[in-house]
Structure 1
């Protein structure tokens, strides 16, 4: 089966690709509607996923043009968007979109695919490990055999105590639990205990309940189960529900990692891993407001590596980069976690010292000046000049004003011969 993905974002291309891996699709990726039409003229697709906004057309306009072709009237077309405007979404459906999938609800796309593809374990490509809390060994062995068909290994626990012991030493991609257990235990108790611990908040839980026990099913979901399946368990339903739970959880993990990566790109300096100038400004706004409100001391160091241009000229920029990274690491080791260290650009660093007055900041600057002179990164003797100042308690100041004062002190240190501290 062929799928056409029209998506300009490389990030969402990767996400959609991984989502469709288990469905045996031959995937074609393009980033414009024009390229999409070209691909459709060369191949027959069973499924199309298109972004709402492309460089040449909108997803709505793309749908309209596809639906104008009688041979493509029934071709499934899903529009992926972050839009929530009801009128826009209605226009998309009117244009012929099969469904609208929000970017924050991509698991819904998998649910839609289930109606397009014949059931069968061959289409699942799951790997990982499951834990099943079940007091019947016969049922557990039968379930273990079924999970092996999906590519999952399974540990079996007879009691909540045994299940918790296994959880101490193993990481599971899925937890299954029967609701009615021996010795007056219930799966509800087990689910509630798991969800009370932060490390199990995101682990998918599948409750196994009796067909007639509607109240138990509701209670299981209220207690934190992600889904339930009724006895007698049908193989294909079990496969579909497990696949949905594990795939959705892995997608959430992937999106979380991607979000973290984007956050680091937005807040960190790519070379040194320290915060960047923009993030320092954001932190300073909060810290200055807190210091004024609570009448706390706050100090600022502005640090510049002396004669750094000579390092680049004599040893090359690749060595200069190593020197910067080594100095950045030394700064990171010398300051507390609540102090904010940023590379402001080039060879300049700024440090916001949390709850430290001018005297304390000056002492720290002198220690730092001596330490960095002795550091000799890449065998090169380097020194720094440092300007030090503190937030005034006499009148309201903002970061730009305090930074300008410390920067002026730094300039004075340079004028006085470098490798020294000037306090204002």
Structure 2
């Protein structure tokens, strides 16, 4: 998930060394030598993550972090402070200012990259929900947030019961949340049917990490808990365990054992992120969403898709990313209606939509924009991956005829797809022109015999 990172450091050598490491990991790296320079960079570009050296030559780094949190453009961008000393007081001060983490030099490259992947993964989810929320607002369908906010909850999962009971007693006086606790095994049994907490705090034993890490993976895999924050706590840093925890889906890792003050700051940060994301998702699923949803397939309709595509294009151009626009059309669909009836045609459309949703990423958009025509927008991708995705969607229909519920028969169906590209390296065309390019490619796919993918000349 390579992204755009901003390094803010007054020491040129530090910037160069870190840039080399991050560039080798295929990140796009911006640089600033102090806070003022960083503001100039931010006026021209929006990074996905900001790394700040604690020693800046023009201001206090923690004050700068607070300033970034107060600015609309950077309020939700992950911020990591980098220091040369592991100082608890400064770490707490940084976390209180809105920093997501504090890393200590010399930084293990594998751990650093795992931490960045984790933060960028969380930011990508928030960013996608924000994009959809702005589309709703532009369409006039966003509702004001409810004034009532239910009490948040956290769950402590530890290897043995005595530990979680002791932690809960120390946290209850300083955290305004409902606190529950169970051992790893019992937490694993409960997550399928018990109400999901907002944040899980999971103690992982570096000598026997498997139970804790398995719990992290299960939380991320279950529908009811996948949006919860996960804070993994280690008594001592263990490189392999830290990397595994991050890559399995941990939102944060605390490396210094139990510290009530630090834990409360990290948990409060995760609770705030969870509330924000929950509110965005709730707006997306409100009753007003019906106005922009196709009632047959449950997909978004043209009314939603067009302004969403426009905003995604603006975001891609601003961040220097690429995206793909796919127009897909079912082949000989009129023959399905004529031979099997319109009810069967509706089943074919519904099943086609289900298969596409199931095999696309959550950040991708799929909409029904005509009778048997679908618009698919793939975020943060390139031409090769887009063509592969389009071919996979064609195969999903070709290889599996659609069974009819009320008839003892199956409908063989195929699909043709036209693909065009936008964003970095491609002309900044209006959305309507992008659709025309994709439509021309779709027409070519039909002319060449159907059941295939064609790339627009603009994207080739």
Q: TM-score range with shorter-chain normalisation? A: 0.3 to 0.5
Between 1 and 2, higher relative CO (CA 8 Å, sep ≥ 6) is seen in 2
User: Which has more radius of gyration?
Assistant: 1
Q: With structure 2 as the length reference, what TM-score do the two structures score?
A: 0.38
